[in-house]
Structure 1
Amino acid sequence: MLRIRHEVGGGPEVLFAEEAAVPAAGAGELLIRVEAVGVTLPTVRKVREGSGPVSFGGEVAGTVVATGPGGSGVAGFTPGERVTGLCFADAYAEYAVLSTAMASRIPAGVGAVEAVALVRSGLVARGAYEAARTEPGESVLVTAAASAVGTLALQYAKAGGAGRVVAAVSSADKADFVRGLGADEVVLYGDADWGGPYDVILDGVGGDLLGPAVRALATGGRLVAFSSGGGTVQAYELLLRGASLIGFQIRAIATGKPALYERWLRELWQLHAAGTLRTAVHEEIPLAEAARAHALIEERRNLGKVVLVP
């Protein structure tokens, strides 16, 4: 099978296509013939910033071809079913191993590319919105609003009755795109005034933008950080506003609160079927051109999800 390999070097130029053996599913795992792979910002950052080779993680969607020990009914999944989920290693390949804890059946009529653009990003957007305890009528700012998660977070905020939904993006050429997904206003990261204060900020960037985001919070505001960008916050900035900083990671929900994870999955598919949540796919890129996919995200040029297609 074709697989993408990373060599240490710190950039997209160190991603190589190679032939590799098809993996085997272990206990509680599914072997998937991959039809689409979602590229995530955390994986892109690991390639750029890591000190060692990266085993690529990402959303995968495809068909179950085998199950691990336990027979054909492992966690209710059987060969031939179409599934999607977050794979933490060796996702950039024609075949991948997926934990049943992270797997979700793809409804009839939904394509693989659409599935990888929806599930993980939609669950992160939903979880971040829930973690903020957002109330109808409150103002919501979404950073990285043109990203896969950001586009769905904007829609969750609108569907949840937010009084004002503002998109923060890196450049003005993304403004029409995010407005089309529900943003009432658009601000740029470099603006001196982010148009606050905001009751809720859903932050998918982190790093140097975390400080300005905290300063844009209203009294009693809540900032939910769900990115892999890190960053430092001065406690005084939170004390000054009586504000809260909350961390969110979807893997913690999937493994620690499986019943909640399953409920969110069901509701996610229902909202998508009803047209409340629309996916945005920037481009479908051949698997062998994974370096180009990483460059799109690293240079902040993507509008929505970047997907690799074996």
Structure 2
Amino acid sequence: MRRVRYESPGGPLFLEEAAVPEPGPGELLVRCEAIGVTLPVVRKVTEAAEPIALGGEIAGEVVALGEGVGRFGVGDRVTGLCFGHGYADFATLHESMASPIPDSATAVDAVALVRSGLVALGALEAARPEPGEAALVTAAASGVGHLAVQLARLRGARRVVGAVSDPAKAAFVRSLGADTVAVYGDESWGEPVDYALDAVGGELLTPALAALAPGGRLVAYSSGGGTIRAYDLLVGAKSVIGFQMARIARGRPESYEKWRRELWRLFAEGALKPAVHGEFGLGDAARAHAAVEARSNLGKVVLRP
């Protein structure tokens, strides 16, 4: 089979021939039909001290089962998070991380919706939104952000502000339901918001916090780091909430499953519409990474073996 790999920090990414993996206990072997490209994986390629296995979101057909698998069978269509080599024709997926793909959805729908949607919905839940509140979503055109904009509106936000890196993304973000689109560096984001979902971090944390009304909540779920002054929290009685999807998956599996069901329900009803920026072949993985790293994508970037 084909697999994407790299040998030194920063790449380059290249295709190699590798043996089809054997599923271990509790694992499924999946023929990959779609693979989601995420910013954390892109950052690890450039920042990790040693090369990592390119894992992430995969979707496809189960072709073999490891010992002890009970929930799925050969021929089932599944999606989930692969912690090994996921940029490949075949990949292993632990049964606990897998969920079925409805007949009405494609593999591309699945990788565009489920993992990114879980992060978006989980961050929104952490913000404890109330109907009639105003919301700010940073990285509003990203794989997670474009779903967060829609979910905030579905949860009753009276006003949604989408923040982006490039004004060329404004029309796309407005089409998702945002009332206002702001560009990083321009802090005139309109009236204060009640909560902010931040996927960028770094230097954007301070203006995102400043955009909050007194008592507002900032949910930080970025891998981009950054610092906040305690004084800025104190004077406005504001709060910052850290959100990590892995912690939910490990410690609150009932919430994880509940959110997955909600995402598929909203998708089936046509209320939540994942957008795909582009579909790249395995040999074009470097171009897919470049699109995500440059934050030029509108929606999810997907590899199609």
- Scaled to the shorter chain, the TM-score interval is over 0.9
Structure 1 runs of 4+ with >3 Å offset: none
Matches within 5 A, 1:11-90: 13-70=11-68, 74-90=69-85
Does residue 283 of structure 1 match 2:278? Answer: yes
Pairwise CA distance, 1:225: 1.0
Distance, in Å, in 2 between the alignment partners of 1:250 and 1:24 is: 28
For each residue in 1:8-66, what CA deviation from the matched residue of structure 2 results, as whole angstroms up to 9, or x when unmatched? 142xx511110011112122211111000000010011112222102112110001111
Could you tell me which of 227, 231, 236 is aligned with 1:236?
A: 231
Q: 1:301 aligns with which of 253, 277, 296?
A: 296
What amino acid is aligned across from residue 52 of structure 1 in structure 2? Answer: E
Matched letter for residue 19 of structure 2:
A
- Deviation of residue 196 (structure 1)? 4.3
Q: Answer whether contact 1:101 1:254 (CA < 8 A) is retained.
A: no
C-alpha offsets along residues 178-229 of structure 1, whole Å, 9 cap, x if unaligned? Answer: 0000100000001032324211000011112112211221111111111211
Q: Does 1:119 align with 2:114?
A: yes
1:209 corresponds to 2:219: no
Contact 2:3 2:15 survives alignment (8 Å): yes
Which residue matches 2:2? Answer: 2
The letter for the 2-side match of 1:58 is G
**Contact 1:101–1:255 (CA under 8 A) maintained in structure 2:** no
Structure 2 counterpart of 1:143, from 120, 138, 141: 138
Calculate the TM-score normalised by the size of structure 1.
0.96
* Cα distance in 2, alignment partners of residues 75 and 203 from structure 1: 38
Shift of 1:250: 1.6
Query: How far, CA to CA, are the matches of 2:143 and 2:37 in structure 1?
Result: 10
Under a length normalisation based on structure 2, what TM-score does the superposition of the two structures give? 0.97
Letter in 1 for 2:38: T
Distance in 1 of aligned mates of 2:149 and 2:142: 10
Confirm or deny that 1:162 pairs with 2:160. Answer: no
Q: What is the CA deviation profile of residues 59-88 of structure 1, one whole-angstrom value per residue up to 9, with x for unaligned ones?
A: 100011112112xxx141111100001112
Q: Does 1:105 align with 2:100?
A: yes
Give the CA RMSD over aligned residues.
1.1
Paired-residue identity, %: 63
> Matches of 1:181 and 1:205 in 2, distance apart?
19
What is the identity, as a one-letter code, of the residue corresponding to 1:61? A
Query: What is the CA–CA distance in structure 1 between the aligned matches of 2:222 and 2:65, rounded to whole Å?
Result: 32
Write out per-residue CA displacement over residues 132-172 of structure 1, whole angstroms, 9 at most, x where no aligned residue: 00101111000000001111100111111101100000011
What corresponds to 1:247 in structure 2?
242
